[in-house]
Structure 1
């Protein structure tokens, strides 16, 4: 099997929203993330693809949304990405966020501890399952840098993606892909917050730490989750560069796993495949990044289109509901 460098951790998580305008308001005004790219779904250019991140969209900090206006409510179940966590600098930051959520009416739980870290679970207005996780004492992949113009103080701002939770009916199948194909190592376990469910198993890659973990939860007594607004579409993992990604294409293909092959996404290069329980994984390169078609100071303000869609700009814009993302 082709030899590859270890994956570097989470690259981005992509979820579904039914209303881009409300989504933009929540993730920029409430959570204080920066919209670093307003573009379209490259597989369906009639809908937005919004990228929220740290100040410049560093890999490992992106939470993205496809707008699907007719999306129904998610029917919760198994074989899905069931929790996306966002890193904040410290335990004290969680106290700030709990107070902020209470003042803004955000649906949230009490501060808890999972896998040795302080965690504050909450939901966005469409029921997206999220949690803030403290980076205090983190040793591993470094976080990003919050945007200076955020409504949230920099000392408490979101610095990137934390562990992603996968809930599956046959965990041994997913574990085999994580360890034997993707090079993850088992780190430990912690009790599930769902009564009667087995312990959650933690896997890590690369430098490890908050930004490089997958948490694998078992649930065999529910049907497969039916996705809709408030669900996660896929999780992407970091690959250093295009040369390394092409090696991953060879490796995944040699393992007999159906996959997309090399895909050009302009802001990064990608490879897609499904693990045996049906969850969509993406491997994505760290670059080129989001500043190839917009300067740092203007990220996310206009509709950005990769060069291969630019000739269709008028037709694409005509199909999109206007979305004002300028300061």
Structure 2
């Protein structure tokens, strides 16, 4: 597979209003789509990104209002990185997070880059990573109406961290099927354990998986503050269908072709149980809304539009 990098990542929240406040008012991301979980339209699915939610910039959240706290552990997507333009931006963000009483670890080094680990209000594990040394996949463009200084704004998803007990079968899927290559390793600043880096496409911060191999942790129990799945960029629908054929040929269980309206997808689990998605770069979030007004009202894909009144009646409004 000739994957282009990270497409989006979908996490869990129990508080849609608090989630919007944190990611738009503190982190300054743009809510590019306010819609519903297409598999359970009684709950929100919120998309944040750069100015128009370019592929590779999208951080999304499913709202599960009564979800318990995530129990961190193995077989998980354990940390999500968000890219900022340079090292100077991290200094801005360290001060901003402190001013907003956001828990963080200060600026440290990770794989030759400066990073700033922190947590959101539900203990979602996040890292701001400097793109100063990036020579790979380009970042996006911060929204010029951001609550944070656009000069230092978030420009996309960075390396996604996986924690697994057994590297060999996951490495085989990544390298032999998905086209990733082993790029290096480093010692984690907190655990002291080795982290193995894989990259795809042009490489760089927008195309990396960082894998922590841990045999001393119980399996993660997903809840608010946890991550549901990570998606990888595919050029178009034709490629998605080719990859689906490959998955079927080698006997990997999958979702089949899925039309999410804003992109086309296929889902499957890698050998350690983590949910992967392949998603097309288009059509995009301005398919059904003007680019100037993305995320301002509830957007529904065509197959859910006839149920709008019912769906809106079950959702708690978000300002």
TM-score normalized with structure 1 length: 0.96
**Equivalent residue number for residue 265 of structure 2:** 270
User: Please, which of 43, 64, 70 is the counterpart of residue 60 of structure 2?
Assistant: 64
**Equivalent residue number for residue 208 of structure 1:** 203
CA distance in 2, matches of 1:317, 1:256: 40
Matched, 1:218 2:213: yes
**Equivalent residue number for residue 158 of structure 1:** 154
**Equivalent residue number for residue 71 of structure 2:** 75
Could you give the per-residue CA deviations for residues 240-267 of structure 1, whole angstroms, max 9, x where no partner exists?
A: 0000110010111112110001100000
**Equivalent residue number for residue 245 of structure 1:** 240
**Equivalent residue number for residue 47 of structure 1:** 43
Matched, 1:305 2:291: no
**Equivalent residue number for residue 99 of structure 2:** 103
TM-fit CA distance, 1:137: 2.1
Matched, 1:7 2:24: no
RMSD: 0.8
Matched, 1:27 2:23: yes
Runs of 4+ in 1 over 4 A off after TM superposition: none
CA distance in 2, matches of 1:29, 1:195: 32
Could you give the per-residue CA deviations for residues 262-285 of structure 1, whole angstroms, max 9, x where no partner exists?
A: 100000000000001100000000
Matched, 1:145 2:112: no
User: Please, which of 173, 191, 214 is the counterpart of residue 177 of structure 1?
Assistant: 173
Could you give the per-residue CA deviations for residues 187-232 of structure 1, whole angstroms, max 9, x where no partner exists?
A: 00001235363x1110000111110001111111111000100000
CA distance in 1, matches of 2:53, 2:271: 30
Change (3 A) 1:195 1:158: closer
SS for the counterpart of 2:4 is coil
CA distance in 1, matches of 2:61, 2:183: 30
**Equivalent residue number for residue 117 of structure 1:** 113
TM-fit CA distance, 1:171: 1.3
CA distance in 2, matches of 1:256, 1:314: 42
TM-score normalized with structure 2 length: 0.99
**Equivalent residue number for residue 228 of structure 2:** 233
CA distance in 2, matches of 1:187, 1:289: 31
SS for the counterpart of 1:21 is helix
TM-fit CA distance, 1:54: 0.1
CA distance in 2, matches of 1:193, 1:280: 27
TM-fit CA distance, 1:107: 0.5
**Kept in 1: contact 2:113–2:133 (CA 8 A):** no
CA distance in 2, matches of 1:167, 1:98: 26
CA distance in 2, matches of 1:113, 1:107: 18
CA distance in 2, matches of 1:70, 1:106: 23
**Equivalent residue number for residue 261 of structure 1:** 256
Could you give the per-residue CA deviations for residues 268-327 of structure 1, whole angstroms, max 9, x where no partner exists?
A: 000000001100000000000001111011000000000010001011111111112xxx
CA distance in 1, matches of 2:59, 2:292: 20
Change (3 A) 1:43 1:78: same
User: Please, which of 279, 285, 293 is the counterpart of residue 284 of structure 1?
Assistant: 279
CA distance in 2, matches of 1:295, 1:207: 31
Number of corresponding residues: 319
CA distance in 1, matches of 2:168, 2:216: 16
